[in-house]
Amino acid sequence: MKPKSLEDVFKTYQEHGHRAYGESVTELQHALQSAAFAQQAGEPPVVVAGALLHDYGHLCHNLGEDIADHGVDAHHEDLGAKLLKNLFVNEIVDAGRLHVAAKRYLCWKEPGYRDDLSEASQQSLALQGGPMSDTEAQEFEREPHYDLAVRVRRYDDMGKVVDMRTPDLESFRPLLEGFLRKSA
């Protein structure tokens, strides 16, 4: 269901954030850790907000928690972008929409990046098309917010720490309110 307000987004995290992420943390823990790492690194608010919401689509499909084990890609990045596009500004939506492509891009651009991915991220990478080709990478670099997505991707990679203490979701409310569309 498409959220109509920030309250709806928070409700989705409350109702579905307990789902396993495939990394020994829940979806909510992953979101909070990604955002907390971005905050700790002194990133601007847009990166922190993008890191928090980048996997929203995982909370909204009903394909199960272990779909990658069955060779299925839920295209959660597209689902999340579709659901959030009328609520949040383009930068936030694109951070989520492009974070999978950013993983593929970094595998193309940086030797060794792929080797440092978690086992679950490597498994999903195979389902998502593997490293980009030169042509795909050039197209990705033409995306207006590709650099934001790459930054968010790095925090996505970090947000997988068992028992890490983070601020709670509610503490990010003022930050997210600043990225709501005027019409929302």
What does the pLDDT look like over 6-15, one tens digit per residue?
999 999 999 9
Query: What is the average pLDDT across 42-58?
Result: 96
**Domain for residue 172, yes or no?**
yes
Q: Among 46-50, 74-78, 144-148, name the one with the lowest average pLDDT.
A: 74-78
Q: Domain for residue 155, yes or no?
A: yes
Provide the domain count of the chain.
1
Structure token digits, residue 151: 């930054």
What is the value of pTM for the model shown?
0.93
Domain with 118, as residue range(s), is 6-177
| DSSP conformation class of 159 | -
- pLDDT tens by residue, 61-88: 765 555 555 454 556 788 899 999 999 9
In a domain, 1, yes or no: no
- Domain assignment present for residue 128? The answer is yes
- Bridge partners of 26, per DSSP, are 20
Q: Is residue 167 part of a domain?
A: yes
Q: How far apart are CA 48 and CA 43, in angstroms?
A: 7
d(CA 33, CA 35): 5
Q: Which amino acid is at 61?
A: H
Specify the CATH number for the domain of residue 79: 1.10.3210.10
